[in-house]
């Protein structure tokens, strides 16, 4: 076991006006984030994706076990295979298991079984949750709060990509086991989200939707 030790916290305080200004600026930046389904094929440097992923990898995690793997996919053949598998799963879902209520809810968002963005966008990031860890001796060890940890990291990744001027789409085909085979990931890694990243296509549109107001999401207990 690695010996526990502490180091000095690297933390820069800001005064109240600066804190409020930063909070407002970041809110304004993130308020412009929209889920995009029309992507440009314009390339995005690997270095930009790497910086965003490493921001995500700084997320807090249960017992600092960092139970995540980010498979970043630009290979056209792998993207083609992912699209084929994802569309097949979606068509099965829409034709057999989807309720009329669910389809009605999706209709205003322009969602259907065709997923051309999985090939058009320059990057797909398959986010895997490590259900357990494997030590140097091959022994398994328990990971704590895995979904929560990976969820926080995914949120940071979306923010980092948006901050870098990229658009994203969270895609969750069901089931997602085909991603293990295509990405060469072991069985103890469970794919949770396929994040599409790139620039929006010229003339891209998004649904005219609203986000909840403060009084719908905030509860103050002062």
pTM above 0.85, yes or no: yes
What average pLDDT score do residues 203-210 get?
Answer: 94
pLDDT band at 138 (very low <50, low <70, confident <90, very high): confident
**According to the model, what pLDDT value does residue 98 have?**
55
Give CA–CA dist 20/16, Å, rounded: 6
List, for residues 147-178, the tens digit of each pLDDT value: 999 999 999 999 999 999 999 999 998 889 99
DSSP 21: H
For residue 132, the tally of other CB atoms under 10 A from its CB is: 13
**According to the model, what pLDDT value does residue 174 have?**
83
SS3 200: strand
104 or 32, greater pLDDT: 32
**According to the model, what pLDDT value does residue 1 have?**
47
List, for residues 53-99, the tens digit of each pLDDT value: 999 999 999 999 999 999 999 999 999 999 999 999 877 776 655 55
Between the alpha carbon of residue 189 and those of residues 129, 133, 140, the distances in Å are: 5, 9, 13
Give CA–CA dist 71/199, Å, rounded: 19
What average pLDDT score do residues 18-32 get?
Answer: 98
CATH topology of domain 35-202: NADH Oxidase (3.40.109)
């Amino acid at each position: 076991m690695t010996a526990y030790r502490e180091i000095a916290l690297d933390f820069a305080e800001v005064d109240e006006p600066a804190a409020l200004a930063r909070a407002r600026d970041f809110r304004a930046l993130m308020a412009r984030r929209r889920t995009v389904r029309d992507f440009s094929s314009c390339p995005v440097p690997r270095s930009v994706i790497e910086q965003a992923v490493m921001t995500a990898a700084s997320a807090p995690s249960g017992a600092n076990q960092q139970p995540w793997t980010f498979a970043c996919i630009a290979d056209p053949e792998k993207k083609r295979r992912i699209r084929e598998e994802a569309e097949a799963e979606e068509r099965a879902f829409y034709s057999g298991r989807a309720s009329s209520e669910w389809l009605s809810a999706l209709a205003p968002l322009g969602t259907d079984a065709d997923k051309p963005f999985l090939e058009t966008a320059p990057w797909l990031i398959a986010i895997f949750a490590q259900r357990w860890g494997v030590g140097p001796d091959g022994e398994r060890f328990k990971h704590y709060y895995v979904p929560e940890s990976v969820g926080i990291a995914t949120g940071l990744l979306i923010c980092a990509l948006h901050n870098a001027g990229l658009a994203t789409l969270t895609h969750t085909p069901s089931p997602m086991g085909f991603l293990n085979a295509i990405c060469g990931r072991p069985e103890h890694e469970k794919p949770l989200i396929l994040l599409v990243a790139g620039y929006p296509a010229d003339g891209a549109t998004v649904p005219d939707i609203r986000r909840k107001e403060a009084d719908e999401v905030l509860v103050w207990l002062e």
